[in-house]
């Protein structure tokens, strides 16, 4: 049985999420603010955290960073703000998903299942080991390392997953729905903006090789190193 931590200063939201989570046989703990969440994570092990952003004492972003210093726990962020800047900031600190309020509890549970499934999937089953080079861009898939002109680049886990998937399907057009299904682990409940936001972050890290991530207008993306 997976154990979840629900962190939100609104009692009603915690109650609704708990009800749906327990209906799906998850064990649930609650915290009313970021400080409580950090303390609970010091004392307990959780399979996933559902974290609100705006909270008293310690906000969700700060709490997530503090928790991640000690434990690698997947985090789904909740926020009433859906601007791209807010999502970018969340993804940059390594959150696994971002859900905008008001949200559907059923959709949230679908995202919880997807994130847990991705974390539990054995890495070896994803694809054969590969070490690839495209001009000055080096990609070490088994080592999960990327180098731009010999300099190691640091990216979020999902950026690595997205790049590796595109590279493994080099030259093939990938719709946003396909990327959501294959990289994030869900399709119907996905949000196209999630893909676009991560592509923007990924391109920023690839420097001059950002051109290898080709936009297919109205469809999606593909990896193509052809001049």
CATH of the domain at 142: 1.10.10.10
Say whether both 131 and 193 belong to one domain.
Answer: yes
Look up the domain containing 75 and give its range.
3-120
Chain mean position to CA 69: 17
Say whether both 132 and 112 belong to one domain.
Answer: no
For the stretch 162-215, pLDDT in tens is 999 999 899 999 998 888 888 877 644 556 678 898 999 999 999 999 999 999
For the stretch 154-175, pLDDT in tens is 998 889 999 999 998 999 999 9
Say whether both 130 and 102 belong to one domain.
Answer: no
Contacts of 44 (CB under 8 A, 6+ apart): 3, 5, 29
CATH number at 38 reads 3.40.50.2300
Say whether both 149 and 47 belong to one domain.
Answer: no
For the stretch 87-134, pLDDT in tens is 777 777 778 888 888 889 999 999 899 888 877 765 444 445 578 999
Beta strands in the chain (DSSP E): 3-7, 27-31, 48-52, 75-79, 97-100, 131-134, 137-140, 145-148, 151-153, 174-175, 213-216, 220-223
Residue 24 has pLDDT above 90, yes or no: yes
Among residues 100, 120, 140, the one where a domain terminates is 120
What is the average per-residue pLDDT within 48-52? 96
Say whether both 9 and 94 belong to one domain.
Answer: yes
Is the whole-model pTM more than 0.85? no
Say whether both 100 and 190 belong to one domain.
Answer: no
Say whether both 22 and 78 belong to one domain.
Answer: yes
Among residues 120, 144, 172, the one where a domain terminates is 120
């Amino acid at each position: 049985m997976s154990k979840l931590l629900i962190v939100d200063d609104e009692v009603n939201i915690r109650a609704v999420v708990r009800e749906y989570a327990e209906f799906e046989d998850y064990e649930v703990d609650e915290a009313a603010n970021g400080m409580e969440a950090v303390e609970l994570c010091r004392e307990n092990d959780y399979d996933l955290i559902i974290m609100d952003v705006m909270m008293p004492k310690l906000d969700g972003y700060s709490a997530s960073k503090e928790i991640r210093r000690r434990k690698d726990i997947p985090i789904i962020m909740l926020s009433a703000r859906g601007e791209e800047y807010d999502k970018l900031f969340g993804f940059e600190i390594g959150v696994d998903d971002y859900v905008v309020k008001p949200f559907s509890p059923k959709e949230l549970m679908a995202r919880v299942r997807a994130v847990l499934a991705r974390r539990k999937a054995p890495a070896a089953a994803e694809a054969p080991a590969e070490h690839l080079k495209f001009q000055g861009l080096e990609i070490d898939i088994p080592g999960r390392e990327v180098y731009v002109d010999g300099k190691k680049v640091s990216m979020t886990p999902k950026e690595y997953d997205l790049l590796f998937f595109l590279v493994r399907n080099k030259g093939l057009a990938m719709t946003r729905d396909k990327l959501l299904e294959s990289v994030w682990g869900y399709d119907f409940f996905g949000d196209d903006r999630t893909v676009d936001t991560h592509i923007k972050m990924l391109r920023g890290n690839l420097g001059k090789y950002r051109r290898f991530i080709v936009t297919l207008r109205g469809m999606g993306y593909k990896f193509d190193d052809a001049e």
